[in-house]
Amino acid sequence: MSQTLIAARLHTPSHVWINPVITLNDDGLITSIETASSSSDDTILTPTFLDIHIHGAVNHDVMEGTPEALNSISRFLATRGVSHYLPTTVTAAVDPTLRALDSIATNIETKHHDGAIPLGIHLEGPFVSHIKRGVHPPEHILPPSIELFDRFQQAARGHIRLITIAPETPGALELIHHATKLGVKVSIGHSNATAAETHAALAAGATSATHTFNAMRALDHREPGILGVVLDDRNLFAELICDGVHVAPELVRLFLKAKGTEKAILITDGMSATGMPDGTYILGGFEVQVANGRCLANGVLAGSVLTLDRAVFNFARFTGTPFADVTHLASRNPAAMLGLEAQLTIAPGQPANFNRYTPDGTLLATILNGRQVI
């Protein structure tokens, strides 16, 4: 028995439907999208989100690797507009990282997910800069190694889709080239790279930048460094944590001017405190103190408690961009960076995954496979 979804507008990356009527089959797949002459519904439908950089939520860290931890994170994300995500690791000793990758891979291979679906793994660390390590434990940071990456990918059974690398570290260019040949996307970050070192990384195959501005060499008018290249290169995707804590609104606006709405990617960098009250929580293997929206480990920012629906709202408010357009920064753009546009598109035959908003941009409901989550 089919069902229909109606709204005042449906915003997809390629089209805006006025008064859409979306028909679904019993499996939650879209069978048709048509328009009506009018609608009794004033809400707006958009694609659901893809968070490519998230470490945890609801008092669980992805590196726990247990079904309870990953399923809890997945269910929570679905209530915040996220249909797909990349569980993101943090620098740790090699053996615990291998165990975490194996466990996350098992969860990815599970056929049924009661919430957001993990599409692969984002390996953040251990191939980062000591100088710009942020809270990554220095004792576990390692120089980029093809051999070690291959061990990680073997443990993950090929599910590593994205890796963050500091391009100035010895062996980085070789690993970027190797990972790219295997179809793994490379993001440059946690880096003190010069402009020349950054350009070399892009030539080797890097396609994105990890949490722009944060854990990056400061901008200098004679040595633009990694940040200058990230902002200047219109072909490079770039992440942003838009919580009002990690990046000031003025620089959010500068980021938009530099990257446009085609290459900007909104992420959360969320950790286990997301969705929880203030207190002490775990990121990877170390403690983080959370209070008033700030996550600190020894006085250094350690992830966030941001959710993607809030990131979209903040970005629209900071920049004046219509929120329906901003949703593409959390859906179309990360999918395009990963090469998954076709898999996550809104079209007949695809799962009915939508976010429903009020006219002012408040998330009312997430619909996954035709079923309303909230």
pLDDT at 343 (0 to 100): 81
Tokens at residue 27, please? 């499996």
**106 exposed, middle or buried (CB, 10 Å; 0-12, 13-18, 19+)?**
middle
Catalytic residue set: 269
| pLDDT, mean of residues 49-76 | 97
What integer pLDDT is reported at residue 181 of this predicted model? 98
pLDDT at 13: 85
CA atoms within 13 A on the CB side of 157: 11
Q: Is 211 annotated as a binding residue?
A: yes
Percent of the residues in the chain that have a pLDDT greater than 90, as a whole number: 92
Residue 201 among known ligand-binding residues: no
Q: What is the mean pLDDT of the chain?
A: 96
For the chain, helix (H) and strand (E) counts, in that order, are 10, 24
Asked if pLDDT for residue 301 goes beyond 90, the answer is yes
Stated as kind and residue range, the H or E segment containing 334 is helix 332-338
pLDDT at 285: 87
Residue 360: pLDDT band with limits 50, 70, 90? confident
Question: For residue 79, which phi and psi values (nearest 5 degrees)?
Answer: -80, -5
* pLDDT on residue 315: 98
Q: Binding site annotation covers 190?
A: yes
Which positions ≥6 away from 138 have C-beta within 8 Å?
A: 130
Whole-angstrom Cα distance, residue 332 to residue 157?
A: 26
Say if residue 303 carries a ligand binding annotation: yes
| CA 241 to chain CA centroid, nearest Å | 10
Q: Model's pTM, two decimal places?
A: 0.96
Distance CA 328, CA 289 (A): 32
Give 329-338 pLDDT, tens digit per residue.
999 999 999 9
User: What domains sit in the chain, N to C, each tagged with a CATH number?
Assistant: 3-45+349-372 (2.30.40.10), 49-338 (3.20.20.140)
Say what the pLDDT of residue 1 is.
58
Assigned token pair, 167: 């391009």
DSSP state of 22: E
- Please report the pLDDT score of residue 37 as a whole number: 85
Tell me the pLDDT tens digit for each residue of 178-204: 999 999 999 999 999 999 999 999 999
How many whole angstroms separate alpha carbon 178 and alpha carbon 125?
17
44-47/354-357 β-pairing: antiparallel
Measured between alpha carbons, how far is 349 from 345 in angstroms, rounded to an integer? Answer: 10
Instruction: Provide mean pLDDT across the span 230-247.
Output: 98
CB 164 within 8 A of CB 124: yes
In whole angstroms, what is the distance from residue 214 CA to residue 224 CA?
15
Dihedral sign for Cα 130, 305, 273, 122, please: negative
Cis peptide before 138 (omega within 30 of 0): no
Q: What angle do CA 116, 165, 190 make, to 5 degrees?
A: 90
Please provide residue 270's backbone torsions phi and psi, each rounded to the nearest 5 degrees.
Answer: -65, 145
Q: Is residue 310 a known part of a binding site? A: no
Per-residue pLDDT tens over the stretch 78-107: 999 999 999 999 999 999 999 999 999 999
124 is in an annotated binding site: yes
- In this predicted structure, the answer to whether residue 2 has a pLDDT above a threshold of 90 is no
The residue-averaged pLDDT of 153-178 equals 98
Tell me the pLDDT tens digit for each residue of 312-334. Answer: 999 999 999 998 899 999 999 99
- Give the mean model confidence (pLDDT) for residues 69-75: 97
